[in-house]
């Protein structure tokens, strides 16, 4: 049983993080211009990064845990482009004739005849409906359809899509990828909070010297590492009622980390200047996506969404 990402995946994750730092040096932003997003996608496609879920020429492919290593790096500097959905769709449709540079997305059933689509309006995105028969069919989001942009880094839209389903393997992929991205968000938020606590002075001392801040940062580090462990468990064991509890706890802990980082930043943590609230919204949006995926298999409780919103 694989308990850690492979060395190849770890090296790829480091290289990917460097590319993302070049593409998005300002951290999470909601006001990114369309041309900048298009250029970012072109850079990702040129490097072959959306293909990481597919098998190589020799038939070898990254495991789900390896793929999550790169998705965690993506979460740390996520842009509102469909990188993760493209990785998953290519993982599910390996060998299908699709242009390597094309952004892709998928549908998740949320009720009879209805589905949600992440990144529905990104230019040139091909959206695939996964039919109960096992076939896939490209669909379009009707012009003027309402788009939920609560999560400004991952807008979603509701569409009519009868007879769609997700196989159990795909449910696992969606949940693991979503949690991996949330872990990446939390890890970056924690690094920024620690750096701020070291630099920001109050009463002539760095705020990180005060016990209340030190203890909060230590607790956030514990939450982050437990969330990573829960992600590893999910990638190893798949979906069950027990693993749903692990997913719920993973999102609860990542949410707690980001909320704590906002508090460490003080009043400025709530402003657009830091963008930390964008990370918090993204964790909530990712939790909702995972919950939608699991509802079809394990029932309709809103465990994950409730935990992510802290209710």
Q: How many CB atoms lie within 10 A of CB 131?
A: 15
* Contact call for residues 232 and 2 (beta carbons, < 8 A): no
Q: Which of 133, 135, 123 is nearest to 80 (CA)?
A: 123
Query: In this predicted structure, what is the pLDDT of residue 183?
Result: 98
pLDDT digits (tens, 9 = 90+) for 229-239: 999 999 888 77
* Contact call for residues 135 and 156 (beta carbons, < 8 A): no
Query: In this predicted structure, what is the pLDDT of residue 300?
Result: 44
Find the distance separating the first CA and the last CA of the chain, reported in whole Å. Answer: 36
How far, in Å, are 120, 175, 255, 282 from residue 116 at the CA level? 9, 15, 22, 16
Q: Is the dihedral of CA 28, 34, 35, 37 positive or negative?
A: positive
Query: In this predicted structure, what is the pLDDT of residue 1?
Result: 67
What is the pTM (predicted TM-score) of this model? 0.91
DSSP state for residue 131 in the 8-state scheme: B
Domains and their CATH numbers in the chain: 168-309 (1.20.140.10)
What phi and psi values does residue 25 have, to the nearest 5 degrees?
A: -70, -15
Beta-strand relationship, 104-106 and 156-160: unpaired
CA distance 215 to 155: 35
Q: Which residue has the tokens 């918090």?
A: 280
Query: In this predicted structure, what is the pLDDT of residue 201?
Result: 61
Query: In this predicted structure, what is the pLDDT of residue 65?
Result: 94
CA distance 37 to 34: 5
CA distance 293 to 84: 15
Query: In this predicted structure, what is the pLDDT of residue 271?
Result: 86
Q: Which residues of the chain register pLDDT less than 50? A: 300-311
């Amino acid at each position: 049983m694989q308990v850690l990402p492979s060395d190849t995946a770890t090296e790829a994750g480091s290289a990917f993080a460097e590319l993302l730092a070049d593409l998005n040096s300002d951290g999470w932003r909601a006001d990114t211009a369309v041309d900048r997003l298009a250029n970012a996608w072109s850079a990702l496609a040129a490097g072959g990064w959306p293909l990481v879920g597919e098998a190589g020429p020799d038939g070898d492919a990254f495991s789900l845990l390896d793929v999550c290593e790169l998705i965690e790096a993506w979460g740390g500097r996520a842009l509102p482009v469909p990188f993760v959905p493209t990785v998953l769709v290519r993982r599910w449709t390996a060998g299908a004739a699709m242009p390597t540079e094309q952004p892709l997305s998928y549908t998740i059933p949320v009720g009879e005849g209805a589905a949600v689509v992440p990144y529905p309006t990104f230019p040139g995105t091909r959206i695939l409906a996964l039919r109960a028969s096992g076939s896939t069919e490209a669909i379009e989001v009707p012009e003027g359809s309402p788009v939920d942009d609560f999560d400004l880094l991952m807008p979603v839209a509701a569409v009519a899509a009868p007879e769609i389903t997700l196989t159990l393997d795909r449910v696992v992929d969606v949940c693991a990828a979503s949690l991996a991205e949330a872990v990446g968000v939390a890890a970056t938020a924690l690094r920024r909070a620690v750096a701020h606590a070291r630099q920001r002075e109050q009463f002539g001392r760095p705020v990180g010297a005060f016990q209340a801040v030190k203890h909060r940062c230590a607790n956030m580090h514990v939450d982050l590492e437990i969330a990573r462990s829960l992600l590893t468990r999910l990638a190893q064991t798949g979906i069950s009622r027990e693993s749903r509890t692990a997913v719920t706890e993973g999102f609860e802990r990542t949410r707690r980390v980001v909320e704590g980082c906002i508090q460490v930043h003080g009043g400025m943590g709530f402003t657009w200047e830091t963008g930390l609230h964008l990370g918090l919204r993204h964790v909530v949006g990712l939790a909702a996506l995972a919950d939608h995926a699991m509802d079809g298999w394990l029932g309709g409780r809103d465990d994950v969404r409730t935990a992510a919103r802290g209710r």
